[in-house]
Structure 1
Amino acid sequence: MKNPRPFLEQRRERRGLLRAGLAAAAASSGLAGCDALSSNETAVAVLRSAERLSYGAQRALGRRAMAQEFSPADIAPVFRPNGTTMPLGDGYAAMLANGFADWRLTIDGLVAKPLELSLAQLQAMPTRTQVTRHDCVEGWSCIGQWKGVRLSHVLNLAQLKPGAKYVVFHCLDQMEEDDERSLYYGSVDLDDAFHEQTLLAWELNGKPLPVENGAPLRARIERQLGYKQPKYLRRVQVVAGFGDIGAGKGGYWEDRGYNWYGGI
């Protein structure tokens, strides 16, 4: 295996260029948020250029390439929320009211042992805590401390079947008020799913995950942009492909023009 340092240095340079390009696109749009940027040709072009440059470099390193981790002194006093800050509908409100006692995470698809896990069951599993930087597609960043169980641990319990290639995250946040089917979803390949830093996180900065940041559970996929970090998880589906899910592009924003690979 070649020395990984050149890849890591190039990735840091690309991260800086990507953030600068997206910040400029966000400013030129006059609006904020993924919805505005999804219709901004400059932002989409920046994402596409980053995808071409990053995917090959990251996959050359595979699961060993780590996102930068920081010290507790670097943690932002308030972790900036983005996107949905309170899912629509009575269903989520009822879960919140009873402390998510009835909430369950489903693990299914191409697995030998489908699972239904409560928050308490997840919290009883081996945990990892990490201080990492969240890079938003709008161009801003924020450092936070996350605690959760590695997604790889849960997938190993479920036992992937032959043919498994991707993990699809299905969420509780309804993205369009008049369409109950417009639930957020996203996906990653098995390299990111089994990465050391990919967590199912229930804690942020030493406290239970706030609603605006994705309670009761969100994914942290630290080598990817913010739109690839789904909140309000309800289901993790293992699949061979995602052509029959949503519009077939692998995620809610991907269906609307974003690239499937959001690596940085």
Structure 2
Amino acid sequence: MSILMKRRAVLLGSGALMLGACSKIQQSDAGRGLFESVEDWHKGLQRFVRARDALAREYAPEDISPFFRGNGSTDPQNDGYPQHAANGFADWRFTVTGLVERPLSLSLDQIMRLPQRTQITRHDCVEGWSAIGQWTGPQLSTFLDLARVRDSANYIVFRCADDYTQGRYYESIDMIDAIHPQTIIAHRLNGEPLPIRNGAPLRARVERQLGYKHAKYLTGVEAVASLDDIGLGKGGYWEDYGGYQWYAGM
């Protein structure tokens, strides 16, 4: 087993054990400092052992899991989503905003006419389960190029339609992962339109990170210079309210 595969197994196992206690640990200054230092070490190690543009493993069609489960929010009921689902998301819009020279608002039809990437990859959930699926959609970098993202943008924030206890879901990645060739905005799973349980009509695939970074029910992305004003400032819903690490690379 390679060093990276061993590290992935350790991360999945330890992540599942730590999540129950992490919110209590982070209540103390010492705990917050520990999490921040571990996250910095984790990110630095991942970037050290893998090249900036290293690809996540891709699989053969025969490796695809017979069923790709949903997780977390699987059927949003907030105002508007059920109606969008009922009409096949014909009126759904995906926006690119923030630090861009040319803000975008695209329909699914327009998104499907962009250059597409198909990849078969493994989804690893921090809860301990995995599944292999085939995903299709434009690379996130295609949208950023079309919108002419500004040099001052350091992060991309995913805006979502699903509600949780503290509000709408959101996530973020840095520009290294945003322009990675396997970071796509997927609209198909295993050759079929994305099921509702898996994030229809659009979800992020950030193949070098754990599952909670793969935001579902996307309404848009926002280019920002800092995460300080996003939610509570930690970069994502579960980072703000569940004690998860912002950087979840594998």
| Length-normalised TM-score, structure 1 | 0.85
Task: Please list, as runs of the form range in 1=range in 2, the aligned pairs for 1:1-264 lying within 5 A after superposition.
Answer: 9-25=2-18, 39=23, 51-60=39-48, 61-176=50-165, 182-256=167-241, 257-264=243-250
Once residues 37 and 230 of structure 2 are traced to their aligned partners in structure 1, the CA distance between those partners, rounded to angstroms, is: 25
1:49-87 deviations in Å (ceiling 9; x for gaps) = 873443113334453111111111110011011000101
**How many percent identity over aligned positions?**
53
Aligned-pair distance for 1:163? 0.8
Task: Give the aligned residue type for 2:191.
Answer: G
Aligned-pair distance for 1:98? 1.0
Note closer, same or farther for the CA distance 1:221–1:94 as it changes in structure 2 (3 Å cut): same
Q: Quick check: 1:249–1:260 contact (8 Å CA) kept in 2?
A: yes
Note closer, same or farther for the CA distance 1:88–1:162 as it changes in structure 2 (3 Å cut): same
State the match for 1:5 in structure 2. Answer: none
Task: Give the aligned residue type for 2:244.
Answer: Y
Note closer, same or farther for the CA distance 1:254–1:25 as it changes in structure 2 (3 Å cut): closer
State the match for 1:30 in structure 2. Answer: none
Q: Quick check: 1:50–1:263 contact (8 Å CA) kept in 2?
A: no
Once residues 214 and 98 of structure 1 are traced to their aligned partners in structure 2, the CA distance between those partners, rounded to angstroms, is: 16
Q: What are structure 1's unaligned runs of at least 5 residues?
A: 1-7, 27-35
Q: Quick check: 1:47–1:262 contact (8 Å CA) kept in 2?
A: no
Q: What are structure 2's unaligned runs of at least 5 residues?
A: none
- What's the C-alpha RMSD, in Å, of the aligned pairs? 2.4
1:188-245 deviations in Å (ceiling 9; x for gaps) = 0000000010000000011100000000000000000011000000010000012112
Once residues 13 and 120 of structure 1 are traced to their aligned partners in structure 2, the CA distance between those partners, rounded to angstroms, is: 42
Once residues 115 and 67 of structure 1 are traced to their aligned partners in structure 2, the CA distance between those partners, rounded to angstroms, is: 29
Task: Give the aligned residue type for 2:249.
Answer: G
Secondary structure of the 1:64 match is coil
Once residues 93 and 37 of structure 1 are traced to their aligned partners in structure 2, the CA distance between those partners, rounded to angstroms, is: 35
Note closer, same or farther for the CA distance 1:49–1:207 as it changes in structure 2 (3 Å cut): farther
Task: Give the aligned residue type for 1:175.
Answer: Y
Once residues 210 and 153 of structure 2 are traced to their aligned partners in structure 1, the CA distance between those partners, rounded to angstroms, is: 24
Once residues 91 and 178 of structure 2 are traced to their aligned partners in structure 1, the CA distance between those partners, rounded to angstroms, is: 26
Secondary structure of the 2:44 match is helix
Aligned-pair distance for 1:169? 0.3
Task: Give the aligned residue type for 1:220.
Answer: R
Secondary structure of the 1:253 match is helix
Secondary structure of the 1:236 match is strand
